[in-house]
Homo-oligomer: A and B are copies of this chain.
Amino acid sequence: MNLAAPLVARKDLPGPYAVLEFRHPPVAAEARAGQFVMLKAEAALAPLLRRPFSIMTVDREAGTFSVFLKTVGPGSRALAQLTVGEMAACLGPLGRPFSPPPAGREPLLIAGGFGIAPFHLFSEELRAQGQKPRVFYGGRTAADLVLGEPFDALGVPLTPATDDGSLGAKGLVTGAVEAYLEETHRPAAFYACGPHPMLRAVARLAQERGCPAQVSLDPWMGCGMGTCLGCVVRIQRPGEASPAWRCACTEGPVFDSREVVWEARP
């Protein structure tokens, strides 16, 4: 649904991060973890197009949802500058959500940077299904891991990892996941959202360990509706002769890691 969504609350976090809560009843009612919205500060004359943001939490009663925003350029900046009461043009919920893990597999949610966003809602969904998700949260340095607390509140264990070791295990987040697997030897199902190299690493790990992985890709998106064909990713589906371009906005952003043709991306 395409609506003008008023900003109802905002929480500024350290660095370029903030959590913005918008009123948009259809998103609040229908959103599933892994889905996203296309957002634009209404008053802003530039940039031209909306930007995709994962749905982090929903409040079904209040008819609101929140996004975890990292300011990186004009679109995110215009959103970051919204004051409570101001409007964002908002289309959503969009895209295919994460699907629950196969029976008997422990859901490991692997996040890099703002990729943590969808795992908040996903953790809630999994808990509601009686599952026990576990989050691995990676970033360059401690300053990038600003969204840990909410998971404590949810009672979801979170393992941080930083490239510089300033918080949690030193090195890539996939290293922390491997360590955990070594230690538990439990069958797992991976869910990954974050920078492309991290997603690729998770896909590789999943293959080595023979466990399923759902990855949330983030190609550039122009419309979110399947019409601009800007967001296409190469997907090789079983039974298909050759890989095909598929819209991440309508057939993703969540894909089975085995179907993603990882080389395609420059």
Residues of chain A whose beta carbon lies under 8 Å from any beta carbon of chain B: 43-47, 74, 81
Contact = CB atoms under 8 A, between A and B. Distances in A.
Contacts of A47: 45
A74 B45 CA distance: 9
Contacts of A43: 81
7 contacts: A43-B81, A44-B45, A45-B45, A45-B46, A45-B47, A45-B74, A46-B46
Contacts of A74: 45
A43 B78 CA distance: 10
A253 to B, nearest CB: 28
A10 B81 CA distance: 19
Nearest to A83: B83
A81 B41 CA distance: 14
A71 to B, nearest CB: 12
A74 B74 CA distance: 17
A81 B83 CA distance: 11
A74 B43 CA distance: 10
7 closest Cβ pairs, A-B complex:
A45-B46, A46-B46, A45-B74, A45-B45, A43-B81, A45-B47, A44-B45
A125 to B, nearest CB: 38
A210 to B, nearest CB: 50
A20 to B, nearest CB: 18
Nearest to A81: B43
Nearest to A86: B81
Contacts of A81: 43
A45 B43 CA distance: 12
A46 B43 CA distance: 11
A10 to B, nearest CB: 15
A230 B249 CA distance: 46
Contacts of A46: 45-46
A7 to B, nearest CB: 15
